[in-house]
Amino acid sequence: MSRGIADIAPARLALLNQGMVASATLTEGLAIDFAQLLAAAVPAIGAARLDQLRAQAAAGITKRMALAAQMLLDANADLASLQGHVSDTVRGWACFAIAAQPGWPLPQRLVAMRPLADDGHFGVREWAWLALRPRLAEHLPDAIALLAPWTADPSERVRRFACEALRPRGVWCAHIAELKEEPQLALPLLQPLRADPAVYVQDSVANWLNDAAKGQPDWVRSLCAQWLLESPVAATARICKRAQRSLS
């Protein structure tokens, strides 16, 4: 049986709120008191900002992540040091701060986000693409061109980011209408990953295509048939099977 927030030991929760340990599960991440953590991570943040964060305690976690990040920017916090913080939530705030930096062009944001996309913690990697996704969607052709080289990165985490960040439907995020209507636009990202050896990447590619199949089923069937002919290996077969799992 999965543990709920109420099952987290008080001593463990206190360590999470003080930023002294990383969360081990999504449940632990959701249990963190952002105001306590922000006060511990950036003591100079100011009481007014902490009160504002407390007032949003019932808001969705993505909204609160973005709010905390904006507070870091407003306070001119040292983002470089926060990217190396023990707390994965603090590093997640850094992701949103990178995405919200005023005036940064997309290439600069991607360079800054790359270490966080390759973070050792599962949660930080999710925040990295979630935070940057709106910027990527806003400049879709440029984003695809800039992410294409990431599909050849030695790190499976970076390769996975290149695919996951632009899923047509995604999770906990707004859909990208252009990719729902024209999924072929993302082939520069998908094609190089069709036989990726990492299950982490395979699942992302399959989920991307499963998203696309909900609106463009014939395109997904055709692409998978082509891939299976051109790349008759186990990785491609696994991707294509999972990609078509929702198709009759």
pLDDT tens column, 77-94: 999 999 999 999 999 999
pTM metric for this prediction: 0.94
Residue 217 located in a structural domain: yes
Same domain for 237 and 147, yes or no, is yes
Q: For residue 208, what pLDDT is reported? A: 98
Residue 247 located in a structural domain: yes
Same domain for 105 and 147, yes or no, is no
The answer on pLDDT for 200 being more than 70 is yes
Give the model confidence (pLDDT) of 99-109 as tens digits. Answer: 999 999 999 99
pLDDT band of 7, cuts 50, 70, 90: confident
Residue 242 located in a structural domain: yes
Same domain for 24 and 91, yes or no, is yes
Same domain for 132 and 120, yes or no, is yes
Same domain for 190 and 120, yes or no, is no
| CATH assignment of the domain containing 238 | 1.25.40.290
Residue 156 located in a structural domain: yes
Average pLDDT, the chain: 96
Same domain for 190 and 73, yes or no, is no
Q: For residue 176, what pLDDT is reported? A: 97
pLDDT band of 74, cuts 50, 70, 90: very high
Q: What is the CA radius of gyration of the chain?
A: 19
Same domain for 123 and 220, yes or no, is no
The answer on pLDDT for 5 being more than 90 is no
CA distances from 82 to 4, 15, 77, 88, 89 (A): 28, 17, 8, 10, 10
Per-position b or e across 37-71, b if 16+ CB within 10 A of its CB: bbbbbbeebeeebbeebeeeeeeebeebbbbbbeb
The answer on pLDDT for 2 being more than 70 is no
Residue 171 located in a structural domain: no
Q: For residue 172, what pLDDT is reported? A: 83
Same domain for 61 and 75, yes or no, is yes
| Dist CA 73 CA 21 (whole Å) | 24
Same domain for 127 and 221, yes or no, is no
Q: For residue 4, what pLDDT is reported? A: 81
Residue 2 located in a structural domain: no
Same domain for 114 and 153, yes or no, is no
Per the CB < 8 A criterion, the answer to whether 131 and 95 are in contact is yes
Same domain for 148 and 101, yes or no, is no
Same domain for 19 and 76, yes or no, is yes
Residue 174 located in a structural domain: no
Residue 175 located in a structural domain: no
What's the rounded mean pLDDT across residues 118-138?
A: 98
pLDDT band of 229, cuts 50, 70, 90: very high
Its domain, for residue 127, covers: 8-138
Question: How many distinct structural domains can be found in the chain?
Answer: 2
What's the rounded mean pLDDT across residues 179-205?
A: 98
How does DSSP classify residue 24?
A: S
Task: Pinpoint the alpha helices (H) of the chain.
Answer: 10-17, 26-31, 34-41, 47-55, 61-74, 79-82, 88-100, 106-117, 122-138, 140-147, 156-164, 177-181, 187-190, 199-213, 217-230, 234-243
